[in-house]
Structure 1
Amino acid sequence: MRITSETFSDGIRERLFTIGDIPGVLWTPAEGSGPRPLVLIGHGGGSHKKGWEVVSRAFPYVTSCGFAVAAIDAPGTGDRPEHPEVRRLVASIQEREAAGEPFWLSPEWPALNETVAAQLIPDWQTALDALRKLDSVGDSRPVGYYGLSQGGEMGVRLVAAEPRIGAAVLGLIGSEWLIDAAARITVPVEFLLQWDDEGNPRDSVMKLFDALGSAEKTLHANPGGHFRVPSFEIDSSIRFFARHLGGS
């Protein structure tokens, strides 16, 4: 891991880093040291490691719970180089949307997710290896994952494959090809559903929730579209991670 910048603000220490060609960011409390629980946050499609939906969760996790929080850029986003195949698939999906076609029924949609996952899941595991070697994180404390929308799509795959992750907040996704992966998840899960989600029909989302193999899983359903997740769900996720990951 190579630290490329370090800043302090409002009690939070922010470090931008690279691990090979993986760009990421780590937030920890500005004061204090020693190992602490780590929460990985996956950003949504078209966003990046410091997108609003990442920062709005990361900062409260640090200040309220004393957690370390990390995010990395998905292929073709943020500080990553352009990914030609991702760009091609996204352009095709946008053309279908402009024509009024449901993008989630297009063949490009699963192809896009497979393309991103093929690189991002191993990159997350590489990042986790490196982060747990830092004194401010350590390898003895629990790890959680938070991801909605594309962050949820990638999160189901990652949590199913990575035994070091002990709790997850997922949602805003109902991809049928994730059913088998969801069945392999056994850790506690808080799962979010927007009742009027334009791109994720509620029946599909609930089917994916039902497939989760977790003995402890909770479905949070709220009215509104894909981007209308109530802010109080952040507070709920804080309580969820505090319960399952403990404190610093």
Structure 2
Amino acid sequence: MTSLRFTSRTTSDGVVERDFTVGEVPGVLWSPAAGPDHAPVVLMGHGGGLHKKTPAQRARAVDTVTRWGFHVVAIDAPGHGERPLSAEDEQVRDEFKQAMKTGDIERFRKVSVGYALSLAERAVPEWQRTLDAVQELPEIGTEAPIGYGGGISLGTAIGIPLVAADSRISAAIFGGGFFAYEEELAAARHITVPVLFLLPWDDQYVDRQDGLELFDAFASKEKTLHANPGDHRTIRWHGVDDGFLARHLG
């Protein structure tokens, strides 16, 4: 098993932020400076083209720590953040730019789905190894409940197969802005934990019907859809059942 190695530590306003690596995967762990052991852990995915410590992501993580006393873990997806770009990553980014420049939605969809499948195949095992390593920390352990705290677009494209594959995760927040494709729908049909799904109603590239189809595929007995105007870049996190993860993770 690959262990977690901390590389830096800062503390501010009661929140401890520790950068780490698990093998070659860089991540960050936000924790309360004081609190009981074995508090719940929220895994937080990031959007496409972004990274684990964007201002918006960090703000949500800090809010989760200070409001609920939870730990929050984020890692960079392959080809994102501190991670090197592969030849595939470079090619896909060029194809994205070309599809957006020409307004070719079908090409954009094809490239997006293919890249998401590739990233999920690599990222899901990385998330599971990271969770294994986090559970070895004495202040967390295997007793801590685990939730997936979302991530719009890419964070959902990776998060859905992760939650479907890992029974340790007991509640999840996903977000639209990504296409519904058969592999993702199949994974969603295996998810039975409570789900909160945020749907951008007017996304530039992804029709809302994709989000509705994906939401319908979840096998969860408890699932809630929250739609708001705008695209996936303007999703509003605050005011959207802020207590969802706290209610299900305790």
Q: How does 1:75-224 map to 2 (within 5 A)?
A: 75-102=78-105, 105-147=108-150, 148-172=152-176, 173-177=178-182, 178-224=184-230
Amino acid at match of 1:174: F
Q: Distance in 2 between matches of 1:79 and 1:33?
A: 32
User: CA separation of 1:166/1:113 partners in 2, compared to 1, >3 Å: closer, same or farther?
Assistant: same
Q: Is this contact kept in 2: 1:28–1:136, CA < 8 A?
A: no
Per the TM alignment, residue 105 of structure 1 is displaced from its structure 2 partner at its CA by 4.9
28, 33, 54: which one pairs with 1:25? 28
Q: State the TM-score, normalizing by the size of structure 2.
A: 0.93
User: CA separation of 1:70/1:235 partners in 2, compared to 1, >3 Å: closer, same or farther?
Assistant: farther
Cα RMSD over matched residues?
Answer: 1.4
Amino acid at match of 1:126: R
Q: Percent identity?
A: 45
Q: Distance in 2 between matches of 1:40 and 1:104?
A: 31
Q: Is this contact kept in 2: 1:36–1:138, CA < 8 A?
A: no
Q: Distance in 2 between matches of 1:163 and 1:145?
A: 12
List structure 1 runs of 4+ shifted beyond 6 angstroms: none
- In structure 2, stretches of 5+ residues that fail to align are none
41, 44, 49: which one pairs with 2:47? 44
Q: State the TM-score, normalizing by the size of structure 1.
A: 0.94
Q: Is this contact kept in 2: 1:103–1:199, CA < 8 A?
A: no
- In structure 1, stretches of 5+ residues that fail to align are none
The 10-residue stretch of structure 1 (103-112 or 200-209) with the greater mean CA deviation from structure 2 = 103-112
Q: Distance in 1 between matches of 2:238 and 2:124?
A: 24
Q: Is this contact kept in 1: 2:226–2:240, CA < 8 A?
A: no
Q: Distance in 2 between matches of 1:236 and 1:127?
A: 28
Q: Distance in 2 between matches of 1:109 and 1:49?
A: 20
Q: Is this contact kept in 2: 1:174–1:204, CA < 8 A?
A: yes
